[in-house]
Amino acid sequence: EPEVTQTPSHQVTQMGQEVILRCVPISNHLYFYWYRQILGQKVEFLVSFYNNEISEKSEIFDDQFSVERPDGSNFTLKIRSTKLEDSAMYFCASSDVQETQYFGPGTRLLVL
Amino acid sequence: LAKTTQPISMDSYEGQEVNITCSHNNIATNDYITWYQQFPSQGPRFIIQGYKTKVTNEVASLFIPADRKSSTLSLPRVSLSDTAVYYCLVGPGMSGNTPLVFGKGTRLSVIA
């Protein structure tokens, strides 16, 4: 069964550093998403991406965040200058036009 | 998006049937009901989706009464591995490009 993959599984960084989280969506999917889940809290939507541009973004997705699909397979989330409160699990998801969203296993980001 | 209400937690013994009910009083005409499952430190996983009456797949059944103001996820003969958080989501159609809005979910604990 095809699946969404994410790397790294864990990332520890210093406050103020840039991080890039990587995702490989399911190959024939057209829509891509990033969500995050702070420990003990709800899964929160960050951004959706279609046709090489952002479709929708939440209030959380401020200027410190950016997304990119640098090639035909990868989908990345960059946090330019990490803050302590960015510590969370970050989930990538993908979907086809009329399908549900499939989530990856997540990247646990810890900002010190 | 319609607000959903579901129990915070439930306990069950192995082998029992578990029913988790979700209230969504202000569901819209074009809204579908979708359930996701999340294991600790993993991404949410799609379980089942329905619009009305009953839907069944290899994992669960979803019962939706005629007024659609609630729905019940039924897990037959649960095992320890069904211990997870279960989320009820209400939104337009198959998600396509629509961000998913997660609540706090129901934490199901299956006991031997």
Per-residue pLDDT of chain A (112 residues; tens, 9 = 90+): 789 999 999 999 999 999 999 999 999 899 999 999 999 899 999 999 998 899 999 999 999 999 999 887 899 999 999 999 999 999 999 998 767 899 999 999 999 9
Unique residue bearing structure tokens 């397979």: A73
Range B10-28 average pLDDT:
96
The band of B47, judged by pLDDT with boundaries at 50, 70 and 90, is: very high
SS3 B82: helix
Of A37, A30, A61, give the one whose Cα is nearest residue A47: A61
Per-residue pLDDT reduced to its tens digit, B49-74: 999 999 999 999 999 999 999 999 99
Smallest Cα distance from A14 to chain B, Å: 22
- A53: phi then psi, degrees, rounded to nearest 5: -150, 160
Identify which has the larger pLDDT, A91 or B100: A91
Q: How far is the C-alpha of B98 from the C-alpha of A22, rounded, in Å?
A: 22
Average of per-residue pLDDT values in chain B: 92
**pLDDT of B109 above 80:** yes
Range B7-20 average pLDDT:
97
- In chain B, the percentage of residues whose pLDDT exceeds 90 is 83
Tell me which residues of chain A, numbers 55 to 84, contact chain B at a CB-CB cutoff of 8 Å. 55-56, 58
Answer whether B74's CB lies under 8 Å from B17's CB.
yes
Helices and strands (H, E) in chain A, number of each type: 0, 11
Contacts of B103 (CB under 8 A, 6+ apart): A42, B4, B5, B6, B87, B88, B89
The pLDDT score that the predictor gives to residue B95 is: 56
Interface test with B, best of A96, A101, A108 (most B CBs within 10 A): A101
How many residues can be counted in chain A? Answer: 112
Smallest Cα distance from B42 to chain A, Å: 5
- Residues of A with Cβ-Cβ distance to B102 under 8 angstroms: 42-44
SS3 A41: coil
The band of B92, judged by pLDDT with boundaries at 50, 70 and 90, is: confident
**pLDDT of B41 above 90:** no
- Could you tell me which chain A residue has the CA closest to the CA of B44? A103
